[in-house]
Amino acid sequence: MTESGTDTCSDLIAAEDVLLFVNAAVTSTGQREFRSEAYQQRLSLDFLHEYVRVNYRNVYAASLALDINDHNAARVVEQLLRTAGEAGADQKRTEGRLIAARLALLPPQRVYRLFRALRAAKVGNRRTRAILREWLAARPDLGHDAVKYRAGLKTAARHFHLPLRTATGSAPAAGELGDFLFKPGVRPRYEHRLLDAYRRAHHEQGAIYELPFTVAEGFAAKHGVERSAFVERITPRMTRLERLRTQREAGADAEGAPERTDLSAMPLTRLALYTLSLTIEERVRRRAELTHALRTSARRVAGPYAGTWGRVAAVLDDSYSASGSGEKRRRPLAVALGGHFLLEALAAPGSYGAWWTSGRTDPLLVRPFGPTPLGMRVVDALEYAPERLVLVSDGWDNAPPGLAGEVLRVWRTRLDRERRTTVVHLNPVYDADGFDVRRLAASVPTAGIRDAEDLPALVEIAQFAEGRTGLAELQAYLDRRIESFLHEYEGGRAT
Amino acid sequence: MTGLDFTGLTTRPAQVWGGVRLVPLVREEPVQGLRLHREVYDRFGEVLVSPGTSYVSYIPHGLVADWSGAGPAENGTGGGQSAAYGTQLNTAHPTAMAVDQHHRMVKRRPSRRKGGRRPGAVARCRFLPLHLAMEGYLALHFGGPTIAWHQWSQEAVRQGLSPRSESAYLGLDVYGLADALRVFEIHPGQCGVMVYVADALAAAFVVPHPDDYRALHPTLLQDMYGELIYQYGYFGGPVPDFEARLGDGRYIATLADLRAAARAQERAWSESHDTVMARGLLGTSYSFERVYRMGSFDLHRFLPPFRVGSDEQHIGELITDHKGRTAYLKTFRLSPAQIRRGHLLNSLADNDWHLARTADRLGTTSEEIVRRIHAAGFGTLLR
């Protein structure tokens, strides 16, 4: 083999490795899946993180700019900071910018957990401290963090010697925060509203309704407040997702109850999960409300791309394995349901068809049951003569096994040689044994998916997964993504 | 009736997990007029087989057959759970060595429903699944020698084979079976399953109604499995999927051709399974014994011919409708040692328990027969 030959060969392998890692980092959260235990997922994921970090450090850092999930983003940051010695000065600069941008996107509880992990790993160098200080300084209100993430903030302040000052927002008066965290009970009262509410909540029932929901929950139990009354009064203090989660307790789901939460403001996948958590009768009763919310949410995600995808067919998996696991309950099915509404919004009006594996036609009433006859459904969908065919499935095609791959292969080699139809397979489940998401056929690009919202971006990245694109093109794509990602964060801060 | 009749049951593509292959059997139409419910015992029990004869075993559950024809919708109390009513409490705190007394293997049950049916008409019976079949095997020539040849001991002539024992493994102990059953995707309309471990048929299980199957699917874990299956579970590697193959697609010009080719793959599997993989079960002729009559249904248990040459022999129990079609089936695969024991007892009984004649028939010597009797664990029968 010539030298250039080996080059392209190793290039292809490198490109494959990178996509492998991105797929894993998008889908796996180290939690139990339908077909693998949590420890298998974690073990498999740990290996991939180390493998990619050592061999392709640039790409490893660049993955922060992609739609990888929060669990993996936090892991990547942690690994990068732990092994800073392996990076050059240039690399460090890029990594630092990427880390700062990603931390700003992560939910605060994840970042505080990252602080703890770094502390356990005995990382406390100047660079790390600077990065964390910057993040902390950008927090809108440290008083709020001190109440809600008390242990996290305390650990961070102590281990990293971080000054407890915020650049913006209403910071507590000097020294107050330190006393609150480290010398509770010294001050008779606090100037900061939340800190004082926290102090009063110990003996005054009314004060708990000024606190964030999770903190107030503990005090409510202490004071013996009835749950339904508590949930109703605390609603204004809840975050968006907390409001969705406690809908039933607050009685908002009951028949004839006034609508409390604007469902259409919720993220698409969360909304799909919420819909699937309802009983079939309730879904029928609230059909109009739920459909409207899902459509609105999907249209918001589609944004300027709405109606631009032409004729679209979707094959969606609602087999029993879509029920996920106790930790990721009905996640694969929710992704399929969210994807259904998103694809409907993306397709040209009136030219969208969906085929559920069970043969059901009403998306709102899907439930995970039955085998996965993916092959026949693909044939059904191809009959619709779509421009794009999107498959959302965990890739366990079992009735009969392997038929979907065969159908797609024969379709590509015999019936559609001009490539009129683009086929993409999106897989919500990480296969721990295979170190990748499970594929249907070699000819079908496959990408991992966690949130239905990311579907358009993932369809774009899936084109690299056909095995013909080299590392150079992939690197160019990553550079583009990094640039736009950093521009969004840093540009936003400059103004 | 000599064989099993699987009319109405269609084989669907198998699902593989590790070394376990599960083949679903689907009914177009559920069997009318018969339902099965489960009663949970989950402890050791003593079963009175006949006056003076009883046995002790771990009994996970009993099945209640209900041929009153009242579906869940009709009696309005959720017929699916009716039999388990009140019995679930037993499982809450199993005491150290509680032994349930079960009076008879198959026992009729009074109908719980009030009105509608005249008192005394019984449309339900309780039986102990697999124990029924196992008892048939245990009781094989249980009476012992019919003629008191001098080689047999006094005890053998007086008490026969008593006490006789066989051991089996709990499904939970069969490596990989629990996971395979957990990730199995039940087909709509599924009424049965064939369990293969390392591609050896371990058990066949058929029920009359899909809802019964969904309720009873986990009970496969509490069933008995032979030693062979237990060992195969550990030592057999993962088995491959029988994947669909469409070849190079030379004759496929349209989508309709593609669909036809895909359909043909489904059919090919179903045929090859029934004729190749399940041949040991479906192609054998059995001796049936009717145990109970329930309306137009009959409860049988069956024994295989105990041929020594074939390594696959199943005992089991069966409910058939008036046409002989299978409504309920549960089988147990005998291990080679168990087949040999059955063969030996059958040969002895056929020759009136005369050692020399038996040896003659089997083409061997009396000493060899004595050795075999000792090896089979029946040494105490000999003087």
Coil, helix or strand for A278?
coil
From residue A403, give the alpha-carbon distance in Å to each of A314, A390, A406, B264.
17, 17, 5, 11
Q: Is residue B346 part of a domain?
A: no
Residues of A in contact with B248 (CB under 8 A): 413
Residues of A in contact with B187 (CB under 8 A): 370-371, 399
Residues of A in contact with B217 (CB under 8 A): none
Sequence-separated (6 or more) residues with CB below 8 Å from residue A485: A64, A65, A98, A101
Give the domain extent around B213: 9-88+99-110+121-240+250-336
Structure tokens at B348: 């002895």
- The minimal CB distance from B258 to the residues A34, A369, A407 is found for A407
Determine the distance from the C-alpha atom of residue A475 to the mean position of all C-alpha atoms in its chain, rounded to a whole number: 23
Q: Is residue B72 part of a domain?
A: yes
Name the residue type at position A187. R
pLDDT at A99: 95
- The minimal CB distance from B244 to the residues A319, A372, A375 is found for A375
Nearest-Cα distance to chain B for A154, in Å, is: 44
Quick check: B249 contacting A, CB < 8 Å? yes
Structure tokens at B383: 């003087």
Segment B194-212 mean pLDDT: 94
Domains identified in chain A and CATH numbers? 202-252 (no CATH), 273-470 (3.40.50.410)
DSSP 8-class letter at B196: E
Question: Which residues in chain A come in under a pLDDT of 50?
Answer: 1-6, 495
Q: Is residue B28 part of a domain?
A: yes
Contact criterion met (CB < 8 Å) for B249 and A414:
yes
- The minimal CB distance from B13 to the residues A319, A401, A409 is found for A401
ipTM over 0.90: no
The phi and psi torsions of A422 (rounded to 5 degrees) equal -95, 135
Q: Is residue B3 part of a domain?
A: no
Segment B270-292 mean pLDDT: 89
B120 pLDDT tier (thresholds 50, 70, 90): low
How far apart (Å, rounded) are the C-alpha atoms in residues B7 and A54? Answer: 61
pLDDT at A253: 64
**Dihedral angle of Cα B88, B93, B94, B97, to the nearest 10 degrees:** -140
- The minimal CB distance from B262 to the residues A398, A407, A409 is found for A407
Contact criterion met (CB < 8 Å) for A369 and B188:
yes
The phi and psi torsions of B227 (rounded to 5 degrees) equal -60, -40
Q: Strand B314-320 vs strand B200-206: parallel, antiparallel, or unpaired?
A: unpaired
Residues of A in contact with B188 (CB under 8 A): 358, 369-370
Residues of B in contact with A414 (CB under 8 A): 249, 252-253
pLDDT at A468: 63
Q: Which residue of chain A has the CA closest to B250?
A: A414
Count CB pairs under 8 A between chains A and B. Answer: 88
How far apart (Å, rounded) are the C-alpha atoms in residues A217 and A219? Answer: 5
User: pLDDT digits over A163-190, tens only?
Assistant: 776 555 556 666 788 889 988 888 888 8
Sequence-separated (6 or more) residues with CB below 8 Å from residue A349: A307
| Residue burial A378-411, b: 16+ Cβ < 10 Å; e: rest | bbbbbebebebbbbbbbbbbbbbbbbbbbbbbbb
- The minimal CB distance from A321 to the residues B12, B185, B261 is found for B185
How far apart (Å, rounded) are the C-alpha atoms in residues A424 and A459? Answer: 7
Quick check: B271 contacting A, CB < 8 Å? no
Long-range contacts of B353-359 (CB under 8 A, 24+ apart): B353/B144, B353/B145, B353/B146, B353/B147, B353/B149, B353/B152, B354/B147, B354/B149, B355/B149, B355/B151
β-bridge mates for residue B22, sequence order? B15, B195
Nearest-Cα distance to chain B for A375, in Å, is: 8
Please identify which residue in the block is written with the tokens 């079976």: B177
For the purposes of burial, counting CB atoms within 10 Å of the CB of A257, is it exposed (0-12), middle (13-18) or buried (19 or more)?
exposed
pLDDT at B82: 39
How far apart (Å, rounded) are the C-alpha atoms in residues A335 and A269? Answer: 6
Contact criterion met (CB < 8 Å) for A410 and B242:
no
User: pLDDT digits over B4-52, tens only?
Assistant: 889 899 999 999 999 999 999 999 999 988 999 888 888 888 888 877 7
Nearest-Cα distance to chain A for B376, in Å, is: 43
Q: Is residue B74 part of a domain?
A: yes
- The minimal CB distance from A379 to the residues B183, B187, B255 is found for B255
Q: Is residue B116 part of a domain?
A: no
Q: Strand B124-127 vs strand A446-448: parallel, antiparallel, or unpaired?
A: unpaired
Largest CA distance in chain B: 80
Nearest-Cα distance to chain A for B27, in Å, is: 14
Contact criterion met (CB < 8 Å) for B185 and A401:
no
- The minimal CB distance from B242 to the residues A35, A369, A401 is found for A401
Q: Strand B15-17 vs strand A436-437: parallel, antiparallel, or unpaired?
A: unpaired
Q: In this structure, are residues B276 and B288 in contact, taking their beta carbons and an 8 Å threshold?
A: no
Q: Is residue B330 part of a domain?
A: yes
User: pLDDT digits over B231-260, tens only?
Assistant: 999 998 899 988 888 888 788 888 999 999
Q: Which residue of chain A has the CA closest to B249?
A: A410
pTM of the model: 0.89
Q: Which residue of chain B has the CA closest to A359?
A: B188
From residue B221, give the alpha-carbon distance in Å to each of A61, A133, B25.
47, 56, 18
Contact criterion met (CB < 8 Å) for A415 and B255:
yes
- The minimal CB distance from A383 to the residues B185, B242, B255 is found for B255
Segment B289-312 mean pLDDT: 88
Q: In this structure, are residues A339 and A455 in contact, taking their beta carbons and an 8 Å threshold?
A: yes
Q: Which residue of chain B has the CA closest to A381?
A: B255
B122 pLDDT tier (thresholds 50, 70, 90): confident
Sequence-separated (6 or more) residues with CB below 8 Å from residue A449: A26, A27, A335, A339, A392, A426, A427, A428, A455, A458
> How many CA atoms lie within 13 Å of B358's alpha carbon, on the beta-carbon side?
22
> Is the four-CA dihedral A441, A446, A450, A456 of positive or negative sign?
negative
> Is the four-CA dihedral B289, B292, B293, B298 of positive or negative sign?
negative
Q: Considering its fold, how many domains does chain B have in total?
A: 1
User: pLDDT digits over B55-112, tens only?
Assistant: 888 888 888 888 877 654 444 333 333 333 334 444 444 444 556 677 777 777 776 5
For residue A58, give the nearest of A12, A117, A98 by alpha carbon: A98
Contact criterion met (CB < 8 Å) for A379 and B265:
no
Q: Is residue B226 part of a domain?
A: yes
Residues of A in contact with B265 (CB under 8 A): 400, 403, 406
User: pLDDT digits over B352-367, tens only?
Assistant: 999 999 999 999 999 9
